[in-house]
Amino acid sequence: MPAVFRLVLALAVLLGIACNPREYAREHGGITRLSIATGNTGGVYYPYGGGIAKVVSETLPRVQVTAEVTAASVDNLKLIQLGKVDIAFTLADTLDDAVHGRGPFAKTGTVDAQTLAVLYPNYTHVVTVAGSGIERLSDLKGKVVSTGSPGSGTEVIALRVLRAAGLDPDRDLRRQALSVNASADALKDDKIDAFFWSGGLPTASVLDLASTAGITARLIPNDDVIPALQAQYGPSLYKRIVILSGTYPGQAADVPVVGVENALVVDGRMDEQLAYDLTRTLFDKRDALAAIHPEARHLAPDRAVAGSPAPFHPGAVRYYRERGVWNQ
């Protein structure tokens, strides 16, 4: 056998092992260890991901899952691409870029990510404080604004929203790239005027900001840019959703914003039975997950199959067929 062919074969075997952890563990009698890429500690992905790690580890024999802190969507999908994590949270718009090799993935190429479930919608928070003079997106011109961590889905959507509002993110405002925790702290300390955050409800860092004595947090409506976003990126990624009054302390009115779905994805080469077991566990343990973070209350098989720009993993499809909700 030529040496080059032997090397290629060895690499293929190693890649197969890396992407089929359950099969590898079964063959070697060991524990299947998985990692799940989440997000900032002040957001929703991290506690939700920690909940998934907990219930899967407690439910599936000889499977142990660890939740990893990351910058979120973009970095999560690049970690999937590199084979450094097995499961990842991502925003649907970032996932769309990844599976088509666009935007942040133009240089690294397409990502073979496949969906287990669409989880819940993210709400585009544009957060400021009373007295800032910011009432609408156009008022961000000339202000100091955090657009989210580098490598995050928040950064992707913040830049798109600003451009859709007619603002140049690099010329029309003084942009900072802070995590949601750091953004909330900077707003408290009067170091920035506003920040973007794409997350579920409630987001811990925004909740903490709104609960701080002497600070009156304000959420800025941003649904007016949806037609421009849909015209540029298609009608399925962005929609109008509402942060209901009372979601955060001091929020007296509903705030309409840009909404985008979240998906839980895996490497497309993951073992089918493992993907099936993970998907089944999500729904079997929904109440336990909702006790950890309320966004898990959105988990429902019929909802989970709609809104992903990436294909679903065959293991997940098998579960949804069994539940009678797969019609794609």
Residue 26 pLDDT > 60: no
Element (H, E) at 125: strand 113-129
The pLDDT-based confidence of 28 (bands split at 50, 70, 90) is very low
**Residue 14 predicted with pLDDT over 80:** no
Calculate mean pLDDT across residues 1-17. Answer: 42
Do 133 and 256 share a domain, yes or no? yes
Does any domain span residue 255? yes
Instruction: Please indicate, yes or no, whether residues 102 and 49 belong to a single structural domain of this protein.
Output: yes
12 band by pLDDT with thresholds 50, 70 and 90: very low
Same domain, 136 and 202: yes
Map residue 278 onto helix, strand or coil.
Answer: helix
Looking at the fold, whether 113 and 186 belong to one and the same domain comes out as no
Q: State residue 29's pLDDT score.
A: 56
In a domain, 52, yes or no: yes
Residues 191-206, mean pLDDT to the nearest whole number: 94
In a domain? residue 13: yes
Mean pLDDT in residue range 247-272: 97
Q: What is the rounded distance in angstroms from the CA atom of residue 92 to the CA atom of residue 101? A: 14
Six-digit token string for 150? 């580098």
pLDDT digits (tens, 9 = 90+) for 223-238: 999 999 999 999 999 9
- Residue 216 burial (CB count, 10 A): 13
Residue 328 covered by a domain? no
Last residue of one domain, picked from the residues 238, 261, 284: 261
β-bridge mates for residue 88, sequence order: 37, 265
Residue after which a domain boundary falls, among 245, 261, 277: 261
Share of the chain above pLDDT 70, in %: 91
Residues 167 and 238 in one domain: yes
The encoded tokens of residue 275 equal 């993907």
Q: Are residues 199 and 143 in the same domain?
A: yes
pLDDT tens profile 95-107: 999 999 999 999 9
Q: Give the C-alpha separation, 89 to 290, whole Å.
A: 17
Nearest C-alpha neighbor of 195 from the set 176, 212, 208: 176
> What band does 25 get if pLDDT is binned at 50, 70 and 90?
low
| Same domain, residue pair 108 and 139 | no
Return mean pLDDT, the chain.
92
| First and final C-alpha spacing in the chain | 44
Mean pLDDT of 128-142: 97
Number of domains in the chain: 2
- Residue 225 belongs to some domain of the structure: yes
Helix or strand run (H / E) with residue 127: strand 113-129
Q: Is residue 144 domain-shared with residue 246, that is, in the same domain?
A: yes
DSSP notation for 233-252: H-SSS-EEEEE-TTSSTT--
Domain extent for 77: 3-120+262-323
The least confident of 11-20, 27-36, 98-107, 133-142 is 11-20
Residue 7, pLDDT > 90, answer: no
Q: For 141-189, how does the pLDDT look when each residue is reduced to its tens digit (9 = 90+)?
A: 999 999 999 988 999 999 999 999 999 999 999 999 999 999 999 999 9
**Does 217 fall in a domain?**
yes
Alpha helix (H) ranges present in the chain?
3-19, 21-28, 45-59, 73-82, 92-100, 153-164, 180-188, 204-210, 226-233, 272-284, 286-292, 301-304, 314-323
162 shares its domain with 255: yes
CATH of the domain at 269: 3.40.190.10
Asked if 8 and 89 sit in the same domain, the reply is yes
State whether 209 and 298 are in the same domain.
no
